[in-house]
Chains A and B, each alone.
Chain A
């Protein structure tokens, strides 16, 4: 299955001001984007604000989307991740709260599970196809990638957090990304 082409791309219609296409876009991706923002921000109010910003940005900038450069999902997720990390960094700057500095990756999973409750989304075929992509990665590679992607940490910050040499962290992240890319190719 190819998740990137199995569904019609909605963004060109959104760029023309088609509100029903925009609603379709929201129905298709809001659960994934919201889960991502909860994971990054660990706060439902912040996650909802950034979710709103993300979709408003998609509405106003849909004409900038270029299908040659990537999928609709990647475009939207990239906007959400970038805004989520910006919010996380400004929150860290405002108040260096203890729970921000000391939180561990495992906390996020339990947070997400706890807050989903009965509202868990029905997974689409696309989501089912890509779910589990990370299970193939060795833990050390997965943790390094997650610290960069979900917490916006630099290579040196990750090395310090994990008390490992910088070169080791870099190698782990590169190998992990190459495995994810190979996994993506399997879908195509």
Chain B
């Protein structure tokens, strides 16, 4: 179950057309029921326009204005033609419409009920299917001979915590499973960092929250090549993550 803060982060991406299809669908469903998130989405949409309004304005050539005037005049004419309907046709149409209306209302009600239950079933099945596919993919990676397993151990602030990293060098991808992490406060997120041998600053590999049981899993795509990764570490950061770690209190860490 996603929090409002997570939906707000998706809304930020959605406003610039960068939310994934899944994120977009989840956000749309949530916005139907959540006024504060609808406001946040509108605010991000307004903020996105700053990207356009920051550009140096360019006056379009004069003839574009004339072309637009002609185009809207044509549109108006078409609309007027469509609305010029004779009275006898209107009377006939009204009679047919009223006759069909009653039948339609009953049919629609029945179909709507059927559709709702089918949609709910399809949604449930597709969610289960997506979960199964994800789990299958993870399992297949674990079974590959070239998959490397790296253990991250709990540090001073959370000695019982641990994590396992399954690194797939060929696809530059990794699945990371966390266990026994303390619950993160509402205004904080855990953030995974890649410590690289070829760069002085750590690189963010994603943010995550843990379940009540203290577990979580994330997938890292587009990893640096394995020889450039020196280690991995997790810190607790402001919600949504930061560009660089704000503290050195590692929760779990390990060398590659």
A-B interaction: yes
Which of A's residues lie within 8 Å of B, judged by CB?
Answer: 4, 17, 19, 22, 26, 30-36, 38-39, 48, 51-52, 55-56, 59-60, 69-71, 73-74, 77-78, 80-81, 85, 112-113, 115-116, 119-121, 123, 126-127, 130-134, 138, 140-141, 145-146, 148-150, 152-156, 158-160, 163-168, 170-175, 177-178, 180-181, 183-184
For A141, the chain B residues whose CB sits under 8 A away are 243
Which one of B192, B224, B240 lies within 8 Å of A175 (CB-CB)? B240
| CA of A132 to CA of B50, assembled, Å | 9
A52 touches B64 (CB 8 A): yes
| Cβ-closest chain B residue relative to A53 | B71
Contact of B105 with A by CB under 8 A: no
Among the 9-residue stretches B106-114, B116-124, B133-141, B201-209, the one with 4 or more Cβ atoms under 8 Å from chain A is: B201-209
Which of B's residues lie within 8 Å of A, judged by CB?
Answer: 9, 12-13, 15-18, 20, 42-61, 64-65, 67-68, 71-72, 75-76, 192, 194, 203-207, 218, 220-224, 240-243
B53 touches A130 (CB 8 A): yes
B57 touches A180 (CB 8 A): no
A51 touches B50 (CB 8 A): no
> Number of A-B pairs whose CB atoms are under 8 Å?
212
| CA of A39 to CA of B51, assembled, Å | 11
A184 touches B46 (CB 8 A): yes
Q: How far is the CB of B201 from chain A (nearest CB, A)?
A: 11
Q: How far is the CB of B93 from chain A (nearest CB, A)?
A: 24
Contacts A36-B55, A149-B17 aside, 5 further interface pairs with beta carbons under 8 A come to A119-B58, A121-B58, A138-B243, A165-B222, A173-B13
For A119, the chain B residues whose CB sits under 8 A away are 58-59
| Cβ-closest chain B residue relative to A34 | B60
| CA of A19 to CA of B13, assembled, Å | 36
A183 touches B47 (CB 8 A): yes
The A interface, classified by DSSP as helix, strand, loop or mixed, is: helix
| CA of A78 to CA of B28, assembled, Å | 17
| CA of A31 to CA of B52, assembled, Å | 11
Known contacts A22-B72, A164-B222; decide if A183 and B57 are in contact (CB<8 Å).
no
